[in-house]
């Protein structure tokens, strides 16, 4: 009675706090609207979309090859894994199989990326909970991995290293040596982090029993990756639907039991050790061989096979009048507008306007366009004398023309892709990253959709936070390991 009266007089209400999008602990631009009663969370509403860049829509306007760098910018913490996920999906759609060496290299860099991601996760998670030093120790090792990435592809964060059909380039020996040294030293470094937090009573008090989610519920929420495995569900795409070289290496899938923040932390720590061992196995087993699938339809042709045409600077392009049907292909393709001529009549190249870029050479279907080595600066009459039909050119030039044609077609139109739709999932450090493509047979996807683990996990935040204290929201955000670049896309 008195309490009711008191409630009437002193109207109490929950404090409504906006956490984010600018907040030190929301890992980017996550916005959580918290209703708090004292320090207890009553309600959490996550708002996402502050980092929306329309990556899925952009992907529909870019060819399958071009859209690859976009995936770097989804989960920029483990860009390599995202690249691999994209490439694996596109390869499935194309129906091509990368060579074994490429698969092993991808597995290596994928696991490196997993370690890098988990290191950053541990760093920020520990920093959020207040263990500042772990942050910098983790970055020390992450830096090593990023340097290794730089060694193979010239970029540290947004790597764009895997390609559809393989990887961009073979790995240098120095990379393998340095990486081996890393794998030898890394376990002791993990012990270092664990010295600081693993048994620390404060860390235990902050993580054990916080954000508990049962196995069943975790599955129902659509959790994947270590976030799910912390609850004891041994689901790992690498084990259940192996891609790349994961069927050729041995590794365990660490799982937790309690499904709390501490178990998820343990899972990720063990996973780093597993990744380390996977990398070691892959280095040991790394087979010799090609790193790109030799499939002319879907990969870029070798550059050195174009050199007979692209290297000399004295080439002249010439249209053989008799063979020209006046289709206008070259006319439309010429970037310099150096070709003139009416429809159905022989076209002509204005040599003073010509850039010698060989675009026309790759478009002519009627063997009318030919190349005259050493013909630059000569008059049309002289060229007509020297010109030979393209099928009578030397073999190396003919091969170069084929490759050049492939190069131009591939870049300007995109590869010809079978129609259909496909969903392919890969295990990125954050969980199951799925790519869904609808292909209408053109060079660009009709629809590209990404199943981002961060998005799904961000949705679980209210479930993990309600009833706990404000400080536990931070632990919950840390434990589900989200990156808003991926969540918002």
Q: How far apart are CA 55 and CA 101, in angstroms?
A: 30
Name the minimum Å distance from CB 292 to another protein: 4
410 vs 51: CA distance, rounded Å: 31
- Residue 289 in contact with another protein, rule: CB under 8 A: yes
Among 224, 227, 358, 479, binds another protein (CB under 8 A): 358
Using CB under 8 A as the binding rule, whether residue 395 contacts another protein is answered as: no
**Rounded to the nearest whole angstrom, what is the least distance from the CB of residue 105 to another protein in the complex?**
9
8-state DSSP, 210 = S
As a whole number of angstroms, the distance between CA 135 and CA 487 comes to 23
Specify the residue, 128 or 260, whose C-beta has the smaller distance to another protein.
Answer: 128
Bridging pattern class, strands 162-163 and 40-47: unpaired
Query: Which region, judged by CB under 8 A, interacts with another protein, from 264-272, 299-307, 378-386, 387-395?
Result: 299-307
Shortest Å, Cβ 291 to another protein: 5
Interface region with another protein, contact rule CB under 8 A, candidates 9-17, 219-227, 231-239, 388-396: 9-17
Q: Identify the three-state secondary structure at position 282.
A: helix
Contact 339, 331 (CB under 8 A): yes
How far is CA 57 from each of CA 26, 330, 416, 447, rounded to the nearest angstrom? 26, 32, 20, 8
Question: Near another protein by CB under 8 A, which window of 229-237, 281-289, 319-327, 431-439?
Answer: 281-289
Separation CA 330–CA 350 (nearest Å): 13
Q: How far is CA 262 from CA 218, 229, 359, in A?
A: 16, 12, 60
Per DSSP bridges, beta strands 420-428 and 431-439 are antiparallel
By beta-carbon proximity to another protein, the closer residue of 50 and 139 is: 139
Binding-residue pattern over the window 124 to 153 for another protein, x denoting contact by CB under 8 A:
--xxxxxxxx-xxx--x--x---x--xx-x
Is residue 51 within 8 Å of residue 488, measured between CB atoms? yes
Give the contact letters, 189-218, x = binds to another protein (CB under 8 A), - = no: ---x--xxx-xxxxx-xx------------
Give the total residue count for the chain: 489
Give the nearest distance from C-beta 206 to another protein in angstroms: 6
Kind and range of the H or E run holding 194: helix 173-197
User: What's the distance, CA 367 to chain centroid?
Assistant: 41
Q: Please report whether residue 402 would count as binding another protein according to CB under 8 A.
A: no
Residue pair 484/27 in contact (Cβ under 8 Å)? The answer is: yes
For residue 350, the Cα-to-chain-centroid distance in whole angstroms is: 45
Question: Which residues in the 150-179 window bind another protein by CB under 8 A?
Answer: 150-151, 153-155, 158, 160, 163, 166, 168-173, 175-177
Position 310 contacts another protein (CB under 8 A): yes
Cα–Cα dist 50/53, whole Å: 9
Q: What's the min distance (Å) between Cβ of 177 and another protein?
A: 5
Question: Count residues contacting another protein (CB under 8 A)?
Answer: 107
CB atoms within 10 A of CB 330: 25
Q: Which of residues 403-462 bind another protein (CB under 8 A)?
A: 404, 407-408, 411-412
Range in contact with another protein (rule: CB under 8 A) among 5-13, 15-23, 43-51, 217-225 = 15-23
- Answer yes or no: are the C-beta atoms of 102 and 166 closer than 8 Å: yes
Does residue 100 interact with another protein by CB under 8 A?
A: no
Q: Is 336 in the site for another protein (CB under 8 A)?
A: yes
Residue 400 vs 433, nearer CB to another protein:
400
| Closer of 305 and 449 to another protein (Cβ) | 305
- 220-279 residues in contact with another protein (CB under 8 A) are none
Interaction mask 45-84, another protein, x per CB under 8 A: -----------------x--xxxxxx-xx-----------
Q: How far is the CB of 244 from another protein (least distance, A)?
A: 17
Spell out the residues 6+ positions from residue 247 whose beta carbon is closer than 8 angstroms to its own: none
185 binds another protein (CB under 8 A): no
* Minimum CB distance to another protein, residue 220 (Å): 28
DSSP string, 33-86: EEEEETTEEEEEEEE--TT---HHHHHHTS-TTTTHHHHHTTSGGGHHHHHHHH
User: Is residue 286 part of the contact set for another protein (CB under 8 A)?
Assistant: yes
Nearer to another protein, 246 or 410 (CB): 410
């Amino acid at each position: 009675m008195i309490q009711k009266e008191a409630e009437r007089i002193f109207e109490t209400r929950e404090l409504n706090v906006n956490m984010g999008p600018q907040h030190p602990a929301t890992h980017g631009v996550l916005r959580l609207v918290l209703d708090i009663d004292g320090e207890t969370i009553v309600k959490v509403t996550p708002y996402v979309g502050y980092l929306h860049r329309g990556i899925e829509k952009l992907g529909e306007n870019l060819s399958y090859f071009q859209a690859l760098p976009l995936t770097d910018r989804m989960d920029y913490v483990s860009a390599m894994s995202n690249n691999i996920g994209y490439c694996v999906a596109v390869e499935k759609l194309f129906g091509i199989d990368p060579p074994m060496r490429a698969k092993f290299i991808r597995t290596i860099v994928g696991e490196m990326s997993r370690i890098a991601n988990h290191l950053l996760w541990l760093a920020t998670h520990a920093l959020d909970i207040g263990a500042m030093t772990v942050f910098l120790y983790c970055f020390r090792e992450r830096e090593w991995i990023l340097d290794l990435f730089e060694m193979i592809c010239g970029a540290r964060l947004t790597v764009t290293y895997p390609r559809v059909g393989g990887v961009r380039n073979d790995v240098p020996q120095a990379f393998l040596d340095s990486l081996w040294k890393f794998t030898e030293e890394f376990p002791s470094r993990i012990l270092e982090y664990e010295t600081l937090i693993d048994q620390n009573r404060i860390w235990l008090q902050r993580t054990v029993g916080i954000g508990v989610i049962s196995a069943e519920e975790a599955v129902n929420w659509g959790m994947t990756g270590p976030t799910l495995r912390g609850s004891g569900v041994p689901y790992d795409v690498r084990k259940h639907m192996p891609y790349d070289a994961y069927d050729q290496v041995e590794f365990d899938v660490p799982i937790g039991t309690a499904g709390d923040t501490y178990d998820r932390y343990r899972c990720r720590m063990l996973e780093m050790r597993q990744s380390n061992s996977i990398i070691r196995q892959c280095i040991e087993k790394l087979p010799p061989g090609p790193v790109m699938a030799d499939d002319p339809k879907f990969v870029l042709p070798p550059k050195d096979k174009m050199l007979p045409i692209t290297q000399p600077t004295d080439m002249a392009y010439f249209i053989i009048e008799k063979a020209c049907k006046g289709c206008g292909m070259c006319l439309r393709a010429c970037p310099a507008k150096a070709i003139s001529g009416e429809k159905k009549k022989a076209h002509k190249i204005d040599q003073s306007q010509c850039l010698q870029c060989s675009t026309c050479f790759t478009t002519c279907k009627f063997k009318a366009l030919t190349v005259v080595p050493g013909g630059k600066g000569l008059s049309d009459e002289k060229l007509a004398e020297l010109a030979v039909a393209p099928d009578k050119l030397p073999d190396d030039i003919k091969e170069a023309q084929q490759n050049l044609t492939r190069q131009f077609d591939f870049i300007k139109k995109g590869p010809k892709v079978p129609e259909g739709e496909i969903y392919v999932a890969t295990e990125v450090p954050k969980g199951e990253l799925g790519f869904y493509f609808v292909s209408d047979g053109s060079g660009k996807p009709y629809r590209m959709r990404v199943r981002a683990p961060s998005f799904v996990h961000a949705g679980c935040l209210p479930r993990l936070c309600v009833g706990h204290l404000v400080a536990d929201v931070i632990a919950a955000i840390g434990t589900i390991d989200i990156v808003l670049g991926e969540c918002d896309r």
